[in-house]
Structures are given as structure tokens and as C-alpha cells.
Structure 1
């Protein structure tokens, strides 16, 4: 009787192949983990060195960007406004060193611009006007107010602030623009000043369109 050749066991063949593959995968995983661990350590060390070399303000704000020497982020100068049922408030620059605070009383129509002198820390400039004269008044009238920049000729006889103030009667849609006769020379001399806000122009948010004029 002839002996038949023994067939190889497929499972033993797979086991012999799997052992070297698993060993190679394990070594690759070790090398990859070591690489990333080294990169993480280097990054932490670089951040630590940068923080140590920075100023105290940099340490308190770790999220602030690191800029090249001689560079700095631009600053933002902005005005603000807010309104309630009885009052409206806004701020606006009257010069390169001073800011005006505008307060409008909706009931009386009195608009006041108070200017703080930066050297003294006191409100020594005051300019007023009654907006009812230009915008009218009525039961339940409400107002909105904001400021804007202006570049008009100024002189000692006709001083002007850097801002104008806009007031809108939301009931009628009529608005007015006032400028502030603010004197920078008096502020530099720490002298108080006061006067009236001057009406510059008026307009309407719902004008009557003259169709014949635009044809």
C-alpha cells in the first residue's frame, strides 16, 4: 500500500505567517509613538521658551498671537449708542484726546453733550439743544441717536468738534444732524466751556418722491 503525502495544515501556515507580521506591526507602532512623543515634547519646550521670553502680559494671555519684532496689532476705536424708553445715550470723539457723552431726554427733548477733560478728569464742557425744535414732538414720540465723524473747516472763530450727532424721531421719521462748537484751545488751557449744539441739516426717512424731477 502506497503512503499518500501528508497535506499541510492551512491553520499552521497562517500562524507561521501571522507571527512576523504582528511583530513588524508592533515595531512600527512603537516607532510612530516615539516620534510623536518627541514632537510633542519639542513643541511644549518651544512654547515654554517663548512664554519665558515674553512680558508678564504675554504670560497672562497665552492665547494671544506671537508677532515678529516690530509688529503690533491695530487698535480699534469705536463709538457706542444705546436707547431706552425715556433716554438715549451715545459717545463720540470731540478731539484726538477727548470724547463727548451725549444724553437725550425723550420727554423734554433736551440733548446734552458733556465733555470730560482728560488732564483733569472732570466734565468741563457742556453743549445743549432742544431737538423738539427741529424734529417736533407728540404723544408717544420716541427717538434714536448716534454719532458720526466730520471733517469740516475749523478756526478759532468757528471751532468744531470731530464728531456730529444724529437724532431720529422714530414716530415721524424726521432726523437732524448737529455739530459741536468745541474749542480745543480752551480744553488745553483747562478752561471750562459751554454753548449750544448747532443744527447742521435735517431730513426724512420717508421722503416724498417727486417723480417728475427724476424723469
Structure 2
């Protein structure tokens, strides 16, 4: 019985070694005649937007135009929304020493657009979305990001768009101006049935 088990194990080990040797020889032959094996995967462009918030600040990123991204900052204490876009030539230092900001957009206060008077109890949340608006003129059109802000206390929301001039960005000319209010409303209706 013990002799039979040792013969069986010898056969298994010899089989594994034989398969390994055959695989190695076949791989060397393939490499010599066809070159190294390569796996070519198609390129898949990825797009990502991120957001985070606290009681003191909210931040989100989103596409402004083409391959240009903006960072959107919301100050819940003041109710001020700001967007910064870095320039294409970051090698040049600015007085702040960080990078060249070529676009800055602001809104007076989101509390006015949300029709909120009690700013202490407001709980603002912010995310960005993507849209492809038709241009209003040849050079300036709406940017690709829509900024959505909602007050978690009241359910009121507002959506903003960013005007974007691609030729001004390409030529590294600064852009500034207000956000464009696209929509506002409330998600809490008196007739809404909740389960």
C-alpha cells in the first residue's frame, strides 16, 4: 500500500515537472519566432469629479470646458460660491506663488437664490454635474459643469452654470464674472407623499 502511494506521488510530481518543461520550451520557441507576448488594451478616457464638505467649507471639481477643470468652493458661513481655473502655463509663478489662475467666477450669495433668511440653521451640500449647453455667442458659452447646491434643512436647491470662453483660455487671458443661475426650487412639496 505504501509502495503504491509513493508511485502515485512520483507520477504526479513527474507530470507537473513535464508540463512545466513543455510550457517553458513552448514559450521560448514562441518568443524566438514571434517576439515577446504583449497584451494591448484599448485606451479608455476617464472622467472624474470629486466633492467633499464640512460645516465650514465645501469643495467640488468639474469640467469647465473641453479638458479644463475648475475647482468650486462654497463657504457656508458667507454663502459665497467661487470657481477657480488654473492656467495652462503653470511654470509661471504668481504673487501668491502657487500657479496662474486664469478664471474666477463668483456669486453674491447662494442664500439669496435659495431664499434662506436663517443662515445659521442652513446645511448646504454641493455637487457638480456635467451638461452640454448650446452656446449663446461665438466665443462665450456655458461651461461643462453645473453646480448644484441644496440646503438639507429646507430642501431648497439652486443650480448654477459657468460662462466659459475657450479662446480666452487658449490665449491665456483672464476671465471673470458671475455664475449664471439656471434653476431653483424645492424638493419638499406639501403634496408630496413620503413613505
Global fold match (TM > 0.5): yes
Matched, 1:82 2:52: yes
1:140 maps to 2:110: no
Structure-2 change in CA distance of 1:38 and 1:123 (3 Å): farther
1:37-116 pair list within 5 angstroms: 37-40=17-20, 53=36, 67=39, 69=40, 71-72=41-42, 74-116=44-86
Q: Distance in 2 between matches of 1:126 and 1:186?
A: 13
Tell me the number of residue pairs that the alignment of Structure 1 and Structure 2 aligns. Answer: 175
What TM-score, normalized by structure 1, do the two folds share? 0.71
Comparing both structures, which one devotes a greater share of its residues to strand? 2
Structure 1 runs (4+) deviating above 3 angstroms are 22-25, 37-46
* Aligned match of 1:128: 106
Long gaps (5+) in structure 2: 91-98
CA distance in 1, matches of 2:127, 2:179: 15
Shift of residue 112, structure 1, vs aligned partner = 0.0
Q: Which residue of 2 aligns with 1:169?
A: 151
Rounded Cα–Cα distance in structure 2 between residues aligned with 1:201 and 1:193: 23
Backbone CA RMSD of aligned residues = 2.7
Q: What residue is the counterpart of 1:63 in the other structure?
A: none
Structure showing greater radius of gyration is 1
Residues 143 and 167 in structure 1, CA contact (< 8 A), matched pair in contact too:
yes
Which gives a bigger RCO, structure 1 or 2 (Cα 8 Å, sep 6+)? 2
Q: Is the 1:127–1:197 Cα contact (8 Å) retained in structure 2?
A: yes
Compared with structure 1, are the counterparts of its residues 210 and 83 closer, same or farther at alpha carbon in structure 2 (3 Å cutoff)?
closer
